[in-house]
């Protein structure tokens, strides 16, 4: 029997019959890897991109384990946005349509609370929801989780990006420890490893075979002898490549600030990060860069330590590193996780010895500069804009409150919301640039936690 055939799994005959009628001919790579293990009851961490078939994988796992006669909440799927929760719930209902009387309920913010309470009172087998609204039901006692047998964290990396870790922890506290936990994520940052260590029992880590090529970093070297030449080359590279995220390295704090200021003067969306900035300025610069609302971060090596920024398109060494190891570390920040990256290094005639120490063939250093015509083209605007709300943890604001306010009646779609960061007295939320005005109005006009908070665009 073919190992990618659903009939090899020992599934309930009703589920198998339905899969055939839905046109599911054979398992996708993530399904073939995860289904035998998750059907055996083990915890699973599955890494796969959107569209890999993970929803059907965990959906079949939940349905196979379900006791249909017991109208208690037996499985829960947590998703970062209302749109994804609706999509997942619909997929599970589709997979379950030949199994009589299965109740799947979505619990998301931005929709009325009352009808959800009514549905919970009538009993439900599977809850699919966003962390903020699920936590709210737990606080109000309208949802009980003591019969949960399977918990799924879907797009877990995105949930952590949106600031839902506290809510997830509080939800898991209310569940039995002897449940099965399934975690699916497109990426595997250190925060995912931390949460997995805390809430899972010896999970199997599975990665769907990637169709992407291995990471490739293209290195380019440009001769620039004077300060003016350095700035001209930097502007040309940024104008030509139009990176959504570029890290520019300088060797001194004063150069870092000067370069960022000059880039801003020429219209680039650039900020500096170095040791002379106060903590609030550094935090806000990092938040805006990781949110995608600033395209260029100019940094010293010390300030860039601990920067965990995925998907960095480009690294530019405005000053060549003093140490070959530092150079390797700098350029290694791009081209991660199977992506291609660009690393550009500016050097002067006096610095040839540094290139020799890096085993760089000096004969290959004749990369032509982009045309000056690029300097007359408009600067690419970032895809996101960051809103700053004058309320945070001390005011009991949570990411779920912000998502609920933004996606409520007449609001914006949840997939237009990026990272959410809540700190002591402030909250920061990334919004797709084309929807920033309606998002700003929504928070200005609607109450958060029964209060009106000041909100503004960080620029």
Q: What is the pLDDT of residue 293?
A: 96
Digit-coded pLDDT (tens) for 392-424: 989 999 898 999 899 888 899 988 999 999 988
Q: Which residue has the higher pLDDT, 286 or 260?
A: 260
Angle made by CA atoms 282, 288, 289, in degrees to the nearest 5:
90
Digit-coded pLDDT (tens) for 204-229: 998 876 544 445 788 899 999 999 99
Beta bridge pairs of residue 129: 78, 107
Beta bridge pairs of residue 28: none
Q: Which residue has the higher pLDDT, 265 or 447?
A: 265
Distances (CA, A) of 439 to 335, 416, 434: 33, 10, 10
324 alpha carbon, distance to own chain's centre: 32
Structural contact between residues 11 and 61, judged by C-beta atoms closer than 8 angstroms: no
- Side-chain-side CA neighbours of 53 within 13 Å: the count stands at 17
DSSP 311: S
Q: Could you give the domains of the chain?
A: 6-207 (3.40.50.300), 216-376 (3.40.50.300), 384-457 (3.30.70.330)
Q: What is the mean pLDDT of the chain?
A: 89
Beta bridge pairs of residue 347: 223
Q: What is the pLDDT of residue 4?
A: 80
pLDDT above 90 as % of the chain: 58
pTM of the model: 0.70
Digit-coded pLDDT (tens) for 326-351: 888 788 888 765 567 899 999 998 88
Distances (CA, A) of 414 to 110, 158, 333, 407: 10, 12, 29, 6
Lowest mean pLDDT among 77-81, 201-205, 304-308, 436-440: 304-308
Whole-number Å distance between alpha carbons of 249 and 120 = 54
């Amino acid at each position: 029997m073919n190992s990618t055939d659903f009939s090899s799994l020992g599934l309930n005959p009703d589920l198998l019959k339905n899969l055939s009628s839905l046109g599911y001919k054979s398992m996708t790579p993530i399904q073939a890897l995860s289904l035998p293990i998750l059907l055996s009851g083990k915890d699973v961490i599955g890494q796969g991109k959107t569209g890999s078939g993970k929803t059907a994988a965990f959906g079949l796992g939940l349905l196979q384990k379900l006791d249909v006669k017991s109208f208690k909440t037996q499985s829960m799927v947590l998703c970062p946005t209302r749109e994804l929760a609706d999509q997942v719930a619909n997929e599970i209902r589709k997979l379950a349509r030949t199994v009589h009387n299965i109740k799947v309920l979505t619990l998301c913010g931005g929709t009325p609370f009352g009808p959800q309470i009514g549905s919970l009172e009538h009993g439900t087998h599977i809850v699919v929801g966003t962390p903020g609204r699920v936590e709210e039901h737990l606080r109000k006692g309208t949802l009980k989780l003591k019969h949960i047998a399977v918990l799924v964290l879907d797009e877990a990396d995105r949930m952590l990006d949106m600031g839902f870790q506290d809510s997830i922890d509080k939800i898991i506290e209310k569940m039995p420890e002897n449940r099965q936990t399934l975690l699916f994520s497109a990426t595997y940052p250190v925060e995912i490893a931390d949460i997995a260590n805390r809430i899972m029992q010896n999970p199997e880590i599975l990665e769907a075979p990637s169709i992407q090529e291995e990471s490739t970093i293209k290195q380019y070297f440009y001769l620039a002898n004077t300060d003016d030449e350095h700035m001209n080359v930097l502007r040309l590279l940024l104008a030509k490549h139009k990176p959504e995220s570029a890290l520019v390295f300088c060797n001194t704090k004063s150069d870092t600030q000067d370069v960022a200021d000059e880039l801003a003067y020429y219209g680039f969306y650039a900020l500096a990060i170095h040791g002379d900035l106060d903590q609030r300025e550094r935090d806000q610069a990092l938040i805006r860069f990781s949110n995608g609302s600033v395209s260029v971060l100019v940094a010293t090596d010390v300030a860039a330590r601990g920067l965990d920024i995925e998907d960095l398109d480009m690294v530019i060494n405005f000053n060549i590193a003093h140490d070959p190891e530092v150079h390797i570390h700098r350029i290694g920040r791009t081209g991660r996780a199977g992506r291609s990256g660009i690393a550009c290094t500016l050097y002067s005639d006096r610095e040839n010895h540094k290139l020799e120490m890096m085993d760089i063939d000096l004969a290959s250093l004749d990369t032509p500069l982009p045309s000056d015509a690029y300097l007359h083209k408009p600067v690419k605007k970032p895809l996101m804009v960051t809103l700053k709300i004058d309320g945070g943890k001390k005011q009991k604001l949570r990411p779920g409150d912000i998502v609920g306010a933004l996606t409520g009646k007449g609001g914006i779609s949840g997939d237009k919301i990026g990272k959410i960061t809540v700190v002591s007295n402030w909250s920061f939320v990334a919004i797709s640039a084309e929807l920033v005005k309606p998002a700003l109005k929504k928070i200005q006009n609607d109450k958060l936690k029964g209060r009106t908070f000041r909100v503004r665009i960080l620029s």
